[in-house]
Structure formats: structure tokens, C-alpha cells
Chain A
Amino acid sequence: MRFLIIPGVIAAFSIAVICAAVQLDLSPPMIVGDSLQPRVFPILLMVINLILAALLASQYRKESPGKVQWEGPQTWGSIVLFVIFFPITVYVDMMIGIAVVMFAMCLLWGERRILVAGTLALATPVSIFFLFDLVLRVRFPRGLFTNWYYG
């Protein structure tokens, strides 16, 4: 039954989208005219996806997709760092979030020299920040560092 996992996930997603689509507002017939209601096109797409999921399942049944190798701690750790980046950015500061994630990612991926990882984690966001702020005139979201910098 392993061959059903991926097509099953895709089919479940498609059904969820169809359920969400049928709840979309209807447009007055005067505006829609001869074309389709806004909900029809996404439903049509997801029906195609369901057919494709069935085809994929039959393909996988004939030729097993093969066991996908489980990634090492670096990959899953990096995804966890993406998640950690969210609260740091929202509640502390985006630049600090980037520095923390960069530092942790360096160490997680095998960098043994803490000083090198620290320098990289500090120098990169600071230099990119100044480039975007001074040259490209991009304002970054308010936080601990940006509050101090912007005043």
C-alpha cells in the first residue's frame, strides 16, 4: 500500500481545495455572462489533479517509486531553523533572526570553528542590511536592531 501514500496525499489536497472552492462566493450572472463562475476553474484543476493522482498511483503500482532515503539531521534541522526563524523575526528582529539561523545552520552543517560561524552570521546580514538600506532604500520591519538603527 506504500504506493498509495503520495497519490493519496495529493488526492486529499485536491479534495480539500474542491471543498474550499465550493464555498466561494457566486458572482451575479450579469457579470459572469457566458464565462465561468470563479469557483469552477479551481475545481476543474483539482479534478484534473485527481485523475493524475489516480494515474500516478497506477504507475507506482506497476513500478514501485523506490524507497526515498531519509535525510540526515542537517536537512530536518534546517527546516526546524526555518520554523524558529518565524518567532524571532516577529517578536525580536528580522536581522537578528537571520544571524541566529545562519550561525546555527553553519554549526549544524558541520562548521567546527565557532568564531568563523559567528563572524559569517554577523557580517552577512549586516552587510546585506546596509546594502538594501543605503543603496536600494528598502526599509526593514521594526525590531530590536532596526528600532535602534532607525531611531
Chain B
Amino acid sequence: MVEALQAMGSVVLDPYLILLILITTIMGVVIGVLPGLGATTGAALLLPFTLTMEPVHAIAVLATIYVSATFAGSITAILINTPGTSAAAATTFDGYPLAQRGEAGRALGIAVVSSTIGGLFSIIVLCIAAPMLARVAYEFRPPEYFALALFGLSMLASISAGGTVRNLMGGVFGVWLATIGAEPTTGIERFMFGNYELYEGLSFVPVFIGLFAMSELLVQSSRVNRLVDKIAMKAVKLPSREDYKRIWKTVLRSCGIGTFIGILPAEGATVASMIGYAEARRWSKNKEEFGKGAIEGIAGAEAANNAATGGAMVPTMVLGIPGSGTTAVILVGLMVHGLRPGPYLFTEQVDKVYQIFGAMLLANLMFMAMGLYASKLFARISLVPLQMLWPIVFALAVIGAYALSSSLLDVWIALIFGVIGFLARRHGFAVAPIAVGLILGEMVETNFQNSLKMFEGNWWQILTQPLAALFLLLAFFGLFSTPIAKWFTSRRS
């Protein structure tokens, strides 16, 4: 524990890292307030820029983008009724009405404080829960990893936006993409069609840049003529004592909800903020105020979405299972920089892990300062014309896709996946399941093959392993609980 605290504390003794976190926090807030450019797109675009950095610095950059962009979405949600990120959608319900009543500064103050408390709480939980989970994960063998990966995919399919069937299809497509290249045990080439650059499989980075950045560019192109109402604000106000009295229970509840949802392998922050908001309303004495500017609504959503950021890092770092699109990018960042995610990360490179946690803690404090003193300025950035912003994103995306392995094929892959992602989103399919499927694909196949070898071809023996059976059961309930409940209801009626 002392070593962990020392490692976390060492962050403040590294001036380069502090400067990096400061710059990245500003970038993260800018990314968060720019319409369409969420934490996932931002992290995917910035990943190539981290190539020459030390591993801790690189992951700190990506994690800082994650926490600061997740918070910053609330600035535009409150001031222009446009959530900068999907995680801030619930903040518009009460943030914008409160701002319309001339209390934009108060709304932002509550959002800043709640987000910071949520973020700090989840990092404390991360520091405690991650090593504990890592100790359990040491015992995992191929059947458990196989079942866990399926559980991750099923949770993503059942919880994230897009509908279970469509999300499952996305996940299956992602897992299939992971089969492109040489099969790991036999070396047989699959779906390469003579292109030997694909021998080691599809690179994650260009696929992610395509799915998240390029597809968002195409989505934004249809919103280019949209008009927004901007609300004037004098300054951000810290919550008053009365405000604190009203929101403290909501904030604490949302911290717990957000962290728990974040830990589940699903689309963390967005789902967390929606549930945080719904629970704030359910427990509030002033239900009639919700939708008209209830401060509990802002606090509930904001504390939950930032609490989910730390929670989502738990399965990402301990099990190698991303909790959301952004943590999928962070996971790729870990791999690119030679930090193999999994329980061994907590024994072999524990100091680096805690330095990353320390950096996230610092990032939370920095975005609080920025939120309090520079929200007005950042809100102005959100009004940058789309016709200037997105061509720049195009340039960054193309060069970013190329830079990782200096391959033009990666650029074409990014462009193709941009179009695939756009078409998928156009027809109601989410792209995050494709990305997570791609990451988990190798884990699913390799561990399934190894399980078969373990059990001499008897696949059903996977079910005899208690933990594997538990994960498979959870996956089953995750996928089928809603249809089964519907079936029972229809039978009863």
C-alpha cells in the first residue's frame, strides 16, 4: 500500500508529466465541448501522438483525455443544450432549463463539483478494487477467460445503445475481424486475400480511427447547418451550502452507481449517467422540479458519468476487457506501449499502474480548476464552425492511422471503416460493439481453442468450471433476461 501511494505521489515530482497532464486536460476539455468529438474519438486521434512517449506518460495522456472530455460534455449540455459527449446527455435534462432561468453559472458549478467528486471516488475504488480483482484473476485459466470475454460481449450487447440483436451482430462482426490474418496456433492464413501486410491481423488503431473519428465526420456532415441557442453566463458559481445539503446524498449515490456500472464491461459513462439521473429523480423529494432545472438531476448525472471513468479502468487493466469505446482505445494504448493488460500488470509493473492512477487523480483536480475558471471560454470553442473543425479531424485521422506502422494500408483501412461505421450508425447499429469485439476476438478464439485442448475436445466441460459457468450464466441472463421477462408477462396477460 505504501509503495502504491509512493508511486501515485511520484506523479507530482515529475514536472514533465504534470505539464503533459495540464496540456492534455485542456485538450480533453476542448475535445469534450466540440460537438461530435467525444472522449473515444479524441483518444483514438491522440493515440498516434503518444508513440514516442514513455508508457506511463502515454497512458496518462489517454486517461486524462478520457476523464476531462467526459466532464467537459456537460459544459455545452448546460450552455447550448447540446451534450458534447453522449455521457452528458442526461445533464441537458435539467442543466439547460436551469441555465435558461439565468442560473447557468450555478448549473456549471454543480456539474464541476459533482464530476470531480465522482471522478475522485472512482479512482479510490480503482486503487482498492483493481489489485483485489487481479488476485482473483491469477486463478483464471482459458475456460474462465473465454467465458469472461463472452460475458463482456454480452454485457456490451445488452446495455449499449442500438438494441441487443444489432449490438450482438456488431460484436460478432468485430470478433470475425479479429480472425483476419494468420491463425495464432497453426499459422494458416485467413481472409488475407494475398495481402501479407494483414499477416498479423488488422491493426486496432486504424480500425478505431475509422469507426470512431471518420464515421463521426460523416455523421456530423449531415448536421452542418444546425443552429444552436447559446446562453450567456457571467461566471461559474460554486454550489452554496443549501445546494450541498440538497445534493450530497445524490452525489454519493451516483458515485456508487457510476463506479459499479463502469466496472461492468459495458458502455460505462453514458449508461451510468442515465441511471444516476433516474435514481436521483426516484429518491428526490422534489420530483416535480426534474426536467425544469433540478440541481439533483445535474449532480446525479454528472457524478455518475465521471465515476464510471475510474470504474471502467478496472476490467480494462486487470482483465484486458474494455468497459467502453474509450477504454478500448486505452487498452490498445497499453498494448502498443508494451504494458500487457491483465493481472500480471499488477505484479510486474505495479509502479507504472499506480502512476497512471495518480495521473488520473491529478487530471480530475485539473479539470475541476478549468471547469471553475474557464468554462465560459471553453463554451465559446464549441461554436467553432463544423466546416473548419472536421477537415482538421480528417487530416489528423489520416496521418494518425498512417503513423503507427508507416503503412498506407492502415490509411485505407481507416477510411473503409469510417464508411462502414457511418453506414452502421445510419441504420441504428452502434460501433462500440465492433471495436470491443475486435479486441476480444483473439481472447475468445484462443481461449476457446485452449479450453478444447484442456478438455480433450469436450467443449461442454467448460461449464463444469465454476467461475466459467458463472460468467456464462451472467452472459445468458444479460442477453435473455428482457425477452424472457417479456414472454412471461405476455403469458400472464
Contact = CB atoms under 8 A, between A and B. Distances in A.
A25 B221 contact: no
Interface in A67-100: 68, 71-72, 74-75, 77-79, 82, 85-86, 89-90, 94, 98
25 contacts: A27-B186, A34-B457, A35-B450, A42-B176, A42-B179, A45-B176, A49-B172, A49-B176, A52-B165, A52-B168, A56-B166, A56-B169, A68-B426, A71-B221, A78-B218, A79-B218, A89-B408, A102-B392, A102-B394, A106-B391, A109-B387, A110-B224, A110-B387, A125-B399, A140-B402
A124 interface: yes
Interface of A: 6, 10, 17, 20-21, 24-27, 31-36, 38-39, 41-42, 45-46, 48-49, 52-53, 55-56, 59, 65, 68, 71-72, 74-75, 77-79, 82, 85-86, 89-90, 94, 98, 101-103, 105-106, 109-111, 116, 120-121, 124-125, 128-129, 132, 135-141
A49 B169 contact: yes
Q: Which 10 A-B pairs have the closest CB atoms?
A: A109-B387, A27-B186, A38-B183, A34-B457, A35-B449, A102-B391, A74-B221, A38-B188, A111-B387, A75-B221
Contact of A82 (B49, B188, B419, B448): B419
Contacts of B221: 71-72, 74-75, 77-78, 109
Given A68-B426, A82-B419, A128 B411 contact: no
B190 interface: yes
B218 A111 contact: no
Contacts of A120: 388, 391-392
Nearest to A55: B165
Given A45-B176, A105-B390, A31 B185 contact: yes
A74 B386 CA distance: 12
Contacts of B165: 52, 55-56, 59
Interface in B383-426: 385-388, 390-392, 394-396, 398-399, 402-403, 406, 408, 411-412, 415, 418-419, 422, 426
B222 A71 contact: yes
B175 interface: yes
B392 A34 contact: no
A102 B179 contact: no
B388 A75 contact: no
A41 to B, nearest CB: 5
Interface string B268-302: 00000000000000000000000000000000000
Given A86-B415, A102-B391, 14 more contacts: A17-B191, A20-B191, A31-B185, A34-B456, A35-B185, A39-B188, A65-B428, A68-B426, A74-B224, A75-B222, A75-B422, A78-B221, A94-B411, A135-B52
Contact of A42 (B191, B222, B408, B426): B191
Contacts of A31: 185-186
B453 interface: yes
Contact of A17 (B176, B390, B406, B457): B176
B490 interface: no
Interface in B44-90: 48-49, 51-52
- Is chain A's interface secondary structure helix, strand, loop, or mixed overall? helix
Nearest to B217: A78
B248 to A, nearest CB: 43
Contact of A110 (B166, B185, B225, B408): B225
Q: How large is the interface on B (under 10, 10 to 19, 20 to 34, 35 or more residues)?
A: 35 or more
A42 B190 contact: yes
A136 B49 contact: yes
B477 interface: no
Contact of B390 (A35, A59, A89, A109): A109
A105 B390 CA distance: 9
A58 B263 CA distance: 34
B180 to A, nearest CB: 9
B238 interface: no
B408 A35 contact: no
Contacts of B222: 71-72, 74-75
Contacts of A45: 172, 175-176, 179
Interface in B197-241: 214, 217-218, 221-222, 224-225
B173 interface: yes
Contacts of A6: 427
A120 B386 CA distance: 13
Given A45-B172, A98-B399, A75 B218 contact: yes
Contacts of A42: 176, 179, 190-191
Contacts of B51: 136, 138
Contacts of A94: 398, 402, 408, 411
Nearest to A58: B165
Contacts of A111: 385, 387-388
A13 to B, nearest CB: 9
A46 B169 CA distance: 10
A105 B427 CA distance: 24
B415 A82 contact: yes
Given A48-B172, A102-B395, A132-B403, A38 B457 contact: no
Contacts of B449: 35-36, 41
Among B214, B222, B428, the most chain A Cβ lie within 10 Å of the Cβ of: B222
Contacts of B172: 45, 48-49, 52
